[in-house]
């Protein structure tokens, strides 16, 4: 491999000749060969947005000349287009402030920009990092990435599944089935009512996530090293937030208290709590669906779901609810990630949180997994759900909890006696009720109407 010599304040470093990164990136790459988890590309793209916005703001404030501004913006666009993905190699398990990832982006922009300029025009610290510190850029990248991924990736996935459930509600209107509580028979419910509960889970989750967005739209940029704004021109924080909003089309604002925005990650904790809520709902929904589809002959069997692949390497003809299993595994991971996000947010000393890479790694993984799994679950399972009307009707009329509709006529205790007799003797509720002398056959038929119990 060919190398070139780069230098930083600590001296010279050999860097692969075909990479745009510089000395600080290389030092981190060599010092933290831990795991396979790399800084998420969502963070790199967020850095490209904020570096472009910072150049624009510095230019508007008279700090950066037009040519350097234009070249920085051009390279940032290349990063956003994915053209430089191979130049961001650093591990999540690095410095807790993300300093080397900030420098990785600075160095790539400077070296690629100098290549485009045909001269050494850009310095990674003096120009690309102008008016900034790693301590305010990394928190800013975290908020940009979190907000963008929730709004642009997760919300459409939620809406897709929500729409499918809405369609299923309409298609299954009027189908009455037995309800279940504690895995035991309960009073009747319509299938569309059951589906409406799942749909409302998604609506509530989206509402809770929306409530977290104003906090994520606050940017630390302008606080520089410790929140005082040292070496940033007056008005830079508001100007750069305005530029980020222009570039993303979202309503980002400068954080009103930079001391808070550098040291606290409570907005991410709040938002991830909503992600955990969505994960819990998806666990519940997927479990409901695989219970209802269990069988095909020895389970509940009240719905049919798509058969996507063979389910066993030894049992011929077996098909499993694999999409439900995938969703529930994602839910387990997201719920676990919430612990990491919360614990990371509780750490760090004085003016800076120093658990930021692990915090955002887990946060973005949760958004990514939920977004992808909702689409997969929708397309390969939920969209193909069909009711087994015969099985639903059979289970409904065998349910002893239909006796509840007799309470107004024979009382709770007599209704309980009726249900217990029917169960013990394996006879119908009507036969038990008449045998006990609580109602005549004709009166039983008048008041016993399961379809009116929903």
Q: What is the pLDDT of residues 35-74, one digit of tens each?
A: 999 999 999 999 999 999 999 999 999 999 999 999 999 9
Q: Residue 1: its pLDDT value, please? A: 86
Asked if residues 239 and 214 have their Cβ atoms less than 8 Å apart, the reply is: no
Nearest to 240 by CA among 327, 346, 129, 154: 129
Q: Which among 110, 100, 97 is positioned nearest to 138, based on CA atoms?
A: 97
Q: Going by DSSP bridges, is the β-strand pair 176-181/184-190 parallel, antiparallel, or unpaired?
A: antiparallel
- 92 neighbors 38 (Cβ within 8 angstroms): yes
Per the CB < 8 A criterion, the answer to whether 219 and 255 are in contact is: yes
**345 contacts 266 by C-beta, under 8 angstroms:** yes
Active site residue 312: yes
Antiparallel, parallel or unpaired: β 176-181 and 3-8: unpaired
Helix (H) or strand (E) holding 405: none
For residue 384, give the DSSP letter.
G
pLDDT at 130: 98
DSSP class of residue 277 equals H
Half-sphere exposure in the Cβ direction for 149 (13 Å, CA) = 29
Q: Which residue is catalytic, options 7, 210, 312, 397? A: 312
Using the 8-state DSSP alphabet, how is residue 91 labeled?
B
Task: Pull the structure tokens for residue 399.
Answer: 């349910």
Name the percent of the chain in helix, strand, coil, to the closest 5: 65, 10, 30
Pick the closest to residue 344 from 333, 336, 354 (CA basis): 354
- The predicted pLDDT at position 352 comes to 98
| Separation CA 414–CA 326 (nearest Å) | 46
Name the token pair of 273.
């709590």
Q: Which residues pair with 219 in a beta bridge?
A: 254
Looking at 97, 127, 143, 182, which residue is catalytic?
Answer: 182
Q: Give me the numbers of helices (H) and strands (E) for the chain, helices first please.
A: 17, 8
Structure tokens given for 135: 């301590």
Q: In the prediction, which pLDDT does 450 show? A: 87
DSSP state of 22: -
Of 11, 46, 25, the closest CA to residue 95 belongs to: 25
Contacts of 59 (CB under 8 A, 6+ apart): 65, 66, 69
Averaged confidence pLDDT in the chain: 97
What pLDDT score does 451 carry?
85
Pairing outcome for strands 184-190 and 218-219: unpaired
Which of 83, 91, 134 lies closest to 109 in space, CA to CA? 83
Question: Is the preceding omega at residue 296 within 30 degrees of 0, hence cis?
Answer: yes
The closest of 53, 48, 38 to 89, measured between CA atoms, is 38
Q: How far apart are CA 131 and CA 129, in angstroms?
A: 6
> Which residues are 177's β-sheet partners?
189
pTM listed for this prediction = 0.96
The parts of the chain modelled with pLDDT lower than 70 are none
Cα(400)–Cα(438) distance, integer angstroms? 16
């Amino acid at each position: 491999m060919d190398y070139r010599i780069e230098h930083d304040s600590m001296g010279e470093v050999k860097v692969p000749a075909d990479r745009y990164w510089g000395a600080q990136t290389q030092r981190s790459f060599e010092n933290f060969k831990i795991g396979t988890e790399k800084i998420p590309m969502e963070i790199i793209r967020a850095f490209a947005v904020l570096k472009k916005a910072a150049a624009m703001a510095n230019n508007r404030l008279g700090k950066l000349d037009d040519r350097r501004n234009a070249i920085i913006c051009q390279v940032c666009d290349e990063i956003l287009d994915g053209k430089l993905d191979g130049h961001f190699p650093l591990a999540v398990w690095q410095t807790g402030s993300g300093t080397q990832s900030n420098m990785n982006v600075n160095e790539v922009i400077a070296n690629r920009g100098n290549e485009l300029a045909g001269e050494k025009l850009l310095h990674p610290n003096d120009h690309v990092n102008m008016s900034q510190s790693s301590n305010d850029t990394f928190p800013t990248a975290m908020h940009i990435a979190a907000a963008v991924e929730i709004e642009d990736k997760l919300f459409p996935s939620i809406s897709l599944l929500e729409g499918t459930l809405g369609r299923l509600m309409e298609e299954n209107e009027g189908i009455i089935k037995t309800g279940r509580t504690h895995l035991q028979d309960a009073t009747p419910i319509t299938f569309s009512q059951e589906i409406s509960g799942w749909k409302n889970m998604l609506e509530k989750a989206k509402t809770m996530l929306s409530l977290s967005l104003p906090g994520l739209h606050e940017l630390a940029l302008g606080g520089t090293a410790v929140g005082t704004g040292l070496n940033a021109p007056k008005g830079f924080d508001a100007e750069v937030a305005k530029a980020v909003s222009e570039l993303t089309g979202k309503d980002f604002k400068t954080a009103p208290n930079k001391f808070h925005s550098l040291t606290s990650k409570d907005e991410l904790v709040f938002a991830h709590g909503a992600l955990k809520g969505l994960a819990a709902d998806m666990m519940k929904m997927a479990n409901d669906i695989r219970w209802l589809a269990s069988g095909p002959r020895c389970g509940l069997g009240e719905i049919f779901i798509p058969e996507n692949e063979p389910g066993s390497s030894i049992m011929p003809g077996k098909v499993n609810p694999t999409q439900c299993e995938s969703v529930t595994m994602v839910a387990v991971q997201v719920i676990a990630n919430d612990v990491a996000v919360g614990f990371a947010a509780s750490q760090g000393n004085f003016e800076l949180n120093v658990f930021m890479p692990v915090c955002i790694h887990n946060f973005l993984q949760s958004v990514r997994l939920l977004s992808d799994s909702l689409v997969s679950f929708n397309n390969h399972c939920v969209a193909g759900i069909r009711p087994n009307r015969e099985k639903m009707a059979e289970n409904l009329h065998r349910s002893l909890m239909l006796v509840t509709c007799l309470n107004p006529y024979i009382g709770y205790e007599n209704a309980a006696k009726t249900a217990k007799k029917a169960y013990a003797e394996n006879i119908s509720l009507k036969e038990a009720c008449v045998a006990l002398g609580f109602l005549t056959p004709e009166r039983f038929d008048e008041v016993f109407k399961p379809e009116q119990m929903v």
